[in-house]
Amino acid sequence: MNANLPPIQKVLFDEATIQKRIKELADEITADYEDILAIIVLKGSMFFATDLLKHITVPVEIDTMHLGSYGMKGMKSEAVRLNNDIVSSIEGRNVLILEDIVDTGKTMKYIHELFALRNPASVKLCSLLSKPSKREIEIDIDYLGFEIPDAFVVGYGFDYKEKYRTLRDIVVMEPE
């Protein structure tokens, strides 16, 4: 690991545990849908989304959106910014949002409000992780991988300053 980066504290979910849970989620989703428009929320959920979607056996179309934040990091005033919108029309479609983590809930509130204006047939959320102790806005998660405590995680799509995304495990990083 790079000496300039904070050290890894412990493995929270190893590769086998993550992949097993993803297969279970994919089976649940397959049972609930006849067709899906999957929206991958970049960049954090790209590894999760591609692994999950490969196990889904009903027809799937894929689009991506890229969200970021602006304002003071970690402060209540921090707000969501849309860097890149989806290209598809979601009107009349069964939309499944694939998110890496629901933390405060601000990102999901933003997406729900945006999509509500576009008349989809349904919108559901599948999130790999949830940190309920950090929630500021109530969010229904239809398909959830794992609940985690209030810790900063990296790996398997999760970054620290754009590093660590490619780790196969989800690990806890020691704060700076």
Residue carrying the six token digits 């989620």: 25
The question of whether 35 is a catalytic residue gets the answer no
Nearer to ligand 5GP among residue 33 and residue 105 (C-beta)? 105
Of 107, 123, 141, 167, the one binding ligand 5GP (CB under 6 A) is 107
Instruction: Kindly state whether residue 63 participates in binding ligand 5GP, applying the rule CB under 6 A.
Output: no
Nearest 10 degrees: Cα torsion 106, 140, 169, 95: -90
Nearer to ligand 5GP among residue 30 and residue 144 (C-beta)? 144
Beta-carbon count within 10 A of 62 CB: 15
Q: How far apart are CA 129 and CA 153, in angstroms?
A: 10
Of 96, 154, 167, 170, the one binding ligand 5GP (CB under 6 A) is 154
26: tokens are 């994919």
Q: What are the strands of the beta sheet with 8-13, ordered from one edge?
A: 8-13, 170-173, 153-154
CB of 152 to ligand 5GP, least distance (A): 4
- Residue 17 has φ and ψ, to the nearest 5°, of -65, -45
CB of 63 to ligand 5GP, least distance (A): 17
Instruction: Kindly state whether residue 169 participates in binding ligand 5GP, applying the rule CB under 6 A.
Output: no
Nearer to ligand 5GP among residue 3 and residue 75 (C-beta)? 75
Partner residues linked to 8 by β-bridges: 173
Catalytic residues: 103
Binding residues for ligand 5GP (CB under 6 A): 44, 100-107, 152-154, 158-159
